[in-house]
Amino acid sequence: MNKDEFFAIANNLRAAYPREAFQEQYTFELWYECLRDLDAKWVSTAVIDLIKTMKFCPKISDIREKYVTYDRRTEQEKYEDERGLQ
Q: What are the helix (H) ranges across 17-74? A: 25-35, 40-53, 60-67
> Residue 81 and residue 19: Cα distance in Å, rounded?
45
Q: Could you tell me the domains of the chain?
A: 3-83 (1.10.8)
Query: Tens digits of per-residue pLDDT, 43-78?
Result: 999 999 999 999 999 999 999 999 998 876 666 776
> Residue 62 and residue 13: Cα distance in Å, rounded?
13
| Measured CA distances, 15 to 22, 45, 61 (Å) | 11, 15, 20
**pTM of the complete model:** 0.81
pLDDT at residue 74 in the model: 65
- Say which DSSP state 59 is in: P
Query: Tens digits of per-residue pLDDT, 14-39?
Result: 999 998 888 788 899 999 999 999 99
